[in-house]
């Protein structure tokens, strides 16, 4: 671990050179995804996956994946929905997965990854519309992490939360 902190860290698209074999965030599904599935999903344009990684060695500290999704307007709280046009569904951006390796949790890397994902999602709206960022929390701990950053559960969902893009824009301004 000390070796990593002497190397530069970058956030970049997952590539062949990244050492993903040892990644373990404590949730096997998220570990399996980066080790086995993410590259295939990138090739097939299912998700875009970005890693926070060392330059040399290219150890993966954490990652997130982004894709497009839709949100039903009736799943948004009334005070958010009333500011939107009266279409039944709205475009949104999904952070399907976000995880930090166990060895590096609690050091601000989760926040760094989340802020990068929000910034990238906001920038993308210059090309493709998206009214909110949606996250899938895997458990209560992950839900609390997102709530710490003002995400709110969608109506009738406990673990699917959202943050309006307008708020992200104000927050990042
Ligand atoms: C959830 C996770 C991404 C957080 O990453 P992390 O690097 O440990 O968190 P950070 O150190 O960046 O924490 C940033 C801030 O969030 C807060 N925070 C972190 N985890 C939290 C939690 N579970 N509940 C509430 N707040 C939390 C921290 O206290 C810190 O706040 P502060 O700056 O005000 O002190 C990480 O623990 C993880 O990968 N867990 C397993 C996988 C997972 O659950 N992923 C999310 C669902 S897909």
Which of 120, 95, 98, 124 has its CA nearest to residue 111? 98
SS3 of residue 166 by DSSP: helix
146 in active site:
yes
The catalytically annotated residue of 63, 64, 104, 146 is 146
pLDDT digits (tens, 9 = 90+) for 25-41: 999 999 999 999 999 99
The predicted-structure confidence for 73-92, as pLDDT tens digits, reads as follows 999 999 999 999 989 999 99
Q: What is the best residue among 26, 31, 110 to mutate for testing ligand 1's pocket, by most ligand atoms within 8 Å of CB?
A: 110
Looking at residue 33, which CATH number applies to its domain?
Answer: 3.40.630.30
Helix, strand, coil percentages (3-state) for the chain, rounded to 5, are 35, 30, 35
pLDDT in tens, 6-22: 569 999 999 999 999 99
Q: Using CA positions, which residue lies closest to atom 21 of ligand 1?
A: 145
Total number of domains in the chain:
1
The phi, psi pair for 168, rounded to 5°, reads -65, -40
Flag whether the pTM goes above 0.85. Answer: yes
Ligand 1 atom closest to residue 113's alpha carbon, by position in its atom list: 12
């Amino acid at each position: 671990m000390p070796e990593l902190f002497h190397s530069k860290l970058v956030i970049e698209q997952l590539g062949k050179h990244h050492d993903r074999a040892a990644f373990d965030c404590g949730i096997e599904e998220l570990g399996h995804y980066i080790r086995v599935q993410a590259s295939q999903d990138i090739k097939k344009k299912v998700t875009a996956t970005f890693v926070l990684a060392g330059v040399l060695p290219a150890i993966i500290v954490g990652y997130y994946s982004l894709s497009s999704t839709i949100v039903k307007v009736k799943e948004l709280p009334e005070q958010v929905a009333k500011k939107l046009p009266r279409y039944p569904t709205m475009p949104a951006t999904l952070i399907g997965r976000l995880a930090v390796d166990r060895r590096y949790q609690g050091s601000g890397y989760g926040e760094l990854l989340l802020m990068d994902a929000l910034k990238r999602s906001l920038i993308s709206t210059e090309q493709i519309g998206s009214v909110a960022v949606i996250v899938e929390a895997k458990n209560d701990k992950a839900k609390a992490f997102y709530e710490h950053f003002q995400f709110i559960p969608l109506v009738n969902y406990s673990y699917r939360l959202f943050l309006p893009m307008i708020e992200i824009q104000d927050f990042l301004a």
